[in-house]
Amino acid sequence: MYINLSGLNVLVTGASRGIGKAIASKLAEAGATIAVHYNKNMREAENLAHVLGNESRAFQADLSQPDDAANLFDRVILEMGSIEILVNNAGVAIPADIDAKESDWINSWNTNIQVNLTSSGILCKKIIEHFLKRNSAGRIINISSRAAFRGDTAEYMAYAASKAGLVALTRTIARAYGKQGIKAFNIAPGFVKTDMAIGIMEKYGTEHASSDIALERMTEPKDIAPLVTFLASGMADHATGSTIDVNAGSYVH
């Protein structure tokens, strides 16, 4: 199947490594110009933007800070002129035991919600306004998690809650703005072999991550990127509002 995204600008958050890097690479392979968002990995992001070509560029923002999501969007628009597709991929999974000091538990909760839900929500708001102002169609692809549906271990309560909120946000956008040409999708991975999953696997062991999957190997970023590219193409627009599970059969709903 040939997908041509030439002439389209895509903002991919958390694009300097892991799932985001794989997504950005696949979209650029299809011809898109990528706004490569990063927080701390400047060298990796700038190198990736150079490798991707198509006039792709790197943009820094700390999405744990209240104003950074809106500022990121405005900078991308200023430098690139428009955004046709938003991929909210950036995320954190900060654990907190239930018996932790209350202030520490609240800090963990707030950071998970800020990065995974609030900043994603702000970027969704900004791009919806952008689409409506231009009277143009567009697509939003949010990377949620199976944890939004089946829950998670106790110390990742905030992570699961943030991802469930992202699912509801996506469904609401799809229902509210479909007639204006705005489509929104969720992709819900399980464990993916990335740096973010290392801490969990170190604590619980690789068996914890692989014991309940139906396939022979854990999901990798390369398994998610083609699906994002397909959704970005417009060939699945009538699936707007839907959630697509990519978790090696570990949770099916």
Q: Is position 1 within any domain?
A: no
Q: Is position 162 within any domain?
A: yes
Q: Is position 3 within any domain?
A: no
Number of domains in the chain: 1
Q: What gap in Å lies between CA 186 and CA 200, rounded to an integer?
A: 23
Q: Is position 64 within any domain?
A: yes
- CATH number (domain holding residue 82): 3.40.50.720
Q: Is position 228 within any domain?
A: yes
pLDDT of residue 210: 73
Give the residues across from 60 on adjacent strands: 38
Q: Is position 72 within any domain?
A: yes
> For 3-25, how does the pLDDT look when each residue is reduced to its tens digit (9 = 90+)?
999 999 999 999 999 999 999 99
Query: Can you list the residues of the chain whose pLDDT is less than 70?
Result: 196-209
Prediction pTM value: 0.94
Tokens 């979209």 belong to: 27
User: CA-CA distances (angstroms) from residue 109 to 14, 99, 117, 249?
Assistant: 20, 14, 11, 28
> For 125-134, how does the pLDDT look when each residue is reduced to its tens digit (9 = 90+)?
999 999 999 9
Q: Is position 230 within any domain?
A: yes
Do 227 and 187 meet the contact criterion of CB atoms below 8 Å apart?
A: yes
Question: Cβ contacts of residue 232 below 8 Å, gap of 6+?
Answer: 3, 5, 8, 10, 27, 30, 32, 85, 87, 139, 141
Domain span at 64: 9-246
DSSP state of 16: S
pLDDT of residue 208: 62
Active site residues: 159
pLDDT of residue 44: 98
Q: Is position 146 within any domain?
A: yes
